[in-house]
Structure 1
Amino acid sequence: MNGTPRSEDPTTRYPRPDFPDQYQEPPGWTGPMDPPPDHGEQTYRGSGLLHDRATVVTGGDSGIGRAVALAYAREGADVLFTHLSQESAEARETSRLVEEAGRKAVPVACDIRDEEQCDQVVERAVGAFGRIDVLVNNAAHQMSQPDGIRAVTTEQFDTVMRTNLYAMLWLCRAATPHMPPGGSIVNTTSVQAYKPSPHLLDYAMTKGAIVTFTQGLARMLLDDGIRVNAVAPGPVWTPLIPATLPDTTEFGRQAPIGRPAQPAEMAPAFVFLASQQASFITAEIMNATGGTPLP
């Protein structure tokens, strides 16, 4: 983490497919992934952009959420993050990274598909920090259905909607009374919002809705001095991929850059949008798609 990082060719900075076929049972785990995801452990260097901020990150145990939690801590923030109860080992690693940066980590095992548990997440954050400066709605669920809409069960649809949309509304509703002027909400949408893959129809629906929710909520909260933005990643190498896609061998090849992003490549966007450097930016979608043009 010392010295000035050298410039690297973005097309070859990280592994390119083909990757080994490596299906996992949901929700997926970081350890068995080949190649291992990079969350910025050896590369992310903070500069005080979020000094003493109180932050909440959903789905912070792995993937983009872990990378954001690590980056926020190295920028000077305390981090409460949510995870599923079966992801406790993953959560311990995120906590270690946050605490290693000298900040407070508060892991909360919960199911954000439940309204009461979302309210409890906010209560835990306010109890731990006294306020919420930044809320990152990152947790998501997807499940590939190559057989099309006839294979999308009501149970799957309900899980995707509750995880990706209901929880976002519940958490924003509960958190905003505890957010001071200058607060920031950053949502995770996706390239799927604009270029939906047929086998991810229900997931893509939610990501489109998140774009609309972000833009509408931003207008609603301007008088409170709270900014609302979103990041739209392209393909990112996280445990969700081997746990929800039938074939990982060519994952990310569709991006013009020729590979999937690593979680570490997403975190700087979340840092910028949460920081005062972005004080004139609200209702925006920051696209991080590896070269896929979006509206």
Structure 2
Amino acid sequence: MTTDDTWQGFPAQEQHPPGLTGEMTPEPDHGEQSYVGHGRLNGLLAMITGGDSGIGRAVAIAYAREGADVVIVHLPEEQPDAEATLSWIERAGRRGFSVVADLTSAQACRNAISAAVERLGGLDVLVNNAGFHYTRNDRGTIDGLEPELVDRVIQTNLTATLWLTQAALPHLGPGASIINTSSIQAYDPSGNMVDYAGTKAAINSITANLAQQLGPRGIRVNAVAPGPIWTPLQPATRSAEEVSRFGSNSPLGRAGQPAEVAPAYVYLASPLEASYVSGSIIGVTGGLPTF
């Protein structure tokens, strides 16, 4: 895990979306060698969208080491990353399954939930983590927006959160939790991420709204707002120049690693430690303000 104050940034690099871990230099730290579980999630059944790589992989590893069985949802192109993540879940002695799905339609979201529940035998934790943006060639600015990319951003980040949650509700009982992935962009939007930042601000509102709606059912709803985190999405959707200075604007002076975000998701999923936490958004931003 990189914590060196002399950190000088990443080598300039680009991939095609959605991006793969093995093509990154350096590869991210997902906690493979560092995360130690303490039984916080023993016996829970969790589904993590975008669970093949990046933050999703780190959360999957942490959940498994905390005692949960895990389904990860990913795109077909992400199969190599998914297999690696499943291997870490199984090494933790837990059951791991994958569901291949493009979550840009309501039916795909419903199908993913059904498949996850069938494989796990139930559902206790839903992590809405899959996300997409594209800033290369100024396509995240208002002048550069393209309908196809904007639709993908909105459907992946925002509407999938709604449809997955709706489909999961019949399977979630008292004590269950839903955890959404927001972003520092919801609070401090970059000028070239207008569509992405808008979806993340909306996720904050949805999180607060659902916490009120589902509280009477005993279901907690929270979110994590990461700052700049080194995941395949970055070289896959940013220019090489952007990648080389990614994270340098944080007060800690560097990008974060997925392993540094995962503990927030563990805390929010814990039925003991976070039993009275709902409607909250935890920032993991390297010092960038979330207010």
* TM-score under structure 1 length normalisation: 0.94
CA deviation profile, 1:205-243 (whole Å, cap 9, x unmatched): 000000000000000001110000000000000000001
Instruction: Note if 1:126 corresponds to 2:127.
Output: no
Instruction: Note if 1:232 corresponds to 2:225.
Output: yes
Given that 1:16 and 1:260 are in contact with CA atoms closer than 8 Å, whether structure 2 keeps it comes out as: no
Q: Which residue of 1 aligns with 2:47?
A: 56
Given that 1:183 and 1:226 are in contact with CA atoms closer than 8 Å, whether structure 2 keeps it comes out as: yes
Separation of aligned partners in 2, 1:66 and 1:18: 23
Instruction: Note if 1:219 corresponds to 2:215.
Output: no
Report the AA paired with residue 268 of structure 2: L
Instruction: Note if 1:292 corresponds to 2:288.
Output: yes
Percent of paired sites with the same residue: 50
CA deviation profile, 1:25-63 (whole Å, cap 9, x unmatched): 111111121121000000000011000100000000100
Given that 2:110 and 2:167 are in contact with CA atoms closer than 8 Å, whether structure 1 keeps it comes out as: yes
Report the AA paired with residue 203 of structure 2: I
Deviation at 1:293, TM superposition (A): 1.8
Separation of aligned partners in 2, 1:199 and 1:143: 9
Given that 2:99 and 2:116 are in contact with CA atoms closer than 8 Å, whether structure 1 keeps it comes out as: no
Q: Which residue of 2 aligns with 1:184?
A: 177
Aligned residue runs from structure 1 range 11-30, under 5 A: 11-12=3-4, 16-30=7-21
Q: Which residue of 2 aligns with 1:117?
A: 108
Q: Which residue of 2 aligns with 1:5?
A: none
Separation of aligned partners in 2, 1:171 and 1:128: 16
Which consecutive segments of 4 or more residues in structure 1 shift more than 3 A?
none
**Residue aligned with 2:214, SS:** helix
Separation of aligned partners in 1, 2:182 and 2:84: 25
Separation of aligned partners in 2, 1:17 and 1:280: 41
Q: Which residue of 2 aligns with 1:207?
A: 200
Report the AA paired with residue 170 of structure 2: P
Instruction: Note if 1:74 corresponds to 2:69.
Output: no
Q: Unpaired runs of 5+ in structure 2? A: none
Deviation at 1:198, TM superposition (A): 1.0
CA deviation profile, 1:79-132 (whole Å, cap 9, x unmatched): 011000011111000000001101111101110002111111111122122321
Q: Which residue of 1 aligns with 2:142?
A: 149
Deviation at 1:23, TM superposition (A): 0.7
Given that 2:71 and 2:120 are in contact with CA atoms closer than 8 Å, whether structure 1 keeps it comes out as: no
Instruction: Note if 1:265 corresponds to 2:260.
Output: yes
Deviation at 1:16, TM superposition (A): 2.6
Further displaced range: 65-74 or 17-26: 17-26
Q: Which residue of 2 aligns with 1:164?
A: 157
Instruction: Note if 1:242 corresponds to 2:238.
Output: no
**Residue aligned with 1:102, SS:** coil
Deviation at 1:165, TM superposition (A): 0.7
**Residue aligned with 2:193, SS:** helix
Change in CA separation of 1:136 and 1:65 when aligned onto 2, cut-off 3 Å: same
Q: Which residue of 2 aligns with 1:3?
A: none
Aligned residues: 286
**Residue aligned with 1:230, SS:** strand
Given that 1:11 and 1:258 are in contact with CA atoms closer than 8 Å, whether structure 2 keeps it comes out as: no
Q: Unpaired runs of 5+ in structure 1? A: 1-7
Report the AA paired with residue 284 of structure 2: A
Separation of aligned partners in 2, 1:166 and 1:18: 34
Separation of aligned partners in 1, 2:179 and 2:154: 19
Given that 1:85 and 1:110 are in contact with CA atoms closer than 8 Å, whether structure 2 keeps it comes out as: yes
Given that 2:9 and 2:254 are in contact with CA atoms closer than 8 Å, whether structure 1 keeps it comes out as: no
